[in-house]
Copies of this chain bind each other. A is one copy, B any other.
Amino acid sequence: MMENDIFKALADPTRRAILEKLSSGEMNASALREGMEISQPAMSQHLTVLRGAKLVQEERHGRFVNYQVNPDGLVFIAQWLTKYRSYWPARIDALKGLLKDMDQ
């Protein structure tokens, strides 16, 4: 199931850190490791999970694989959030109408 894959993927702090790194531009797996104290296999495994959740996309360039944010998973979460619109604080109430637009 899509929903479960996404939330499980985001449950791990290392994977959220990877996503955040990618938010500033696409990067290959080695570049992602820099300053992260994580082994090469661990990174590879995390990227597999993120790809399965449609949170990242990969693109091969020779022997490098560039990863970038995939909006699909994130859009799903935004849509999931709309189920709770009516409970949001009033000061963010203006968001409601726009979130509605996302329902197509």
Contacts and interface: CB of A to CB of B under 8 A. Distances in A.
A15 to B, nearest CB: 10
Given A10-B11, A11-B8, A71 B98 contact: no
Interface string A66-103: 00111100110110010110111100101100110110
Contact of A94 (B23, B81, B101): B101
So how many copies of this chain end up in the complex?
2
A53 to B, nearest CB: 11
A20 to B, nearest CB: 7
A77 B81 contact: yes
Q: Give the 7 A-B CB pairs with smallest separation, nearest first.
A: A11-B11, A69-B87, A98-B98, A71-B87, A7-B11, A7-B10, A74-B84
